[in-house]
Amino acid sequence: MNKPIGQSIKPELRSRVDALLDSMIAKFYKEVPFSQHLLNGSQININYNKRHNIETILP
């Protein structure tokens, strides 16, 4: 039986990966100039930003 998306077969691995990603995100907002604009900006086009990130990663 397949588990729904988001339910890990190995929850301990999921927890470790989530913690690693959380630390990487915190480091990004702490160290990258102008990153707070992405976090707190009132005029961010989320759909454009998602598409840009996907297009940047895929090629």
57 pLDDT more than 60 = yes
Helices (H) and strands (E) in the chain, counts: 3, 0
Residues above pLDDT 70, as percent of the chain: 85
Q: Confirm if 59 and 52 have CB atoms less than 8 A apart.
A: no
Confidence of residue 42 (pLDDT cuts 50, 70, 90): confident
Phi, psi of 36 (to 5 degrees): -60, -25
| Tokens describing residue 13 | 């691995």
Residue 39: per-residue pLDDT? 78
| Tokens describing residue 59 | 């090629």
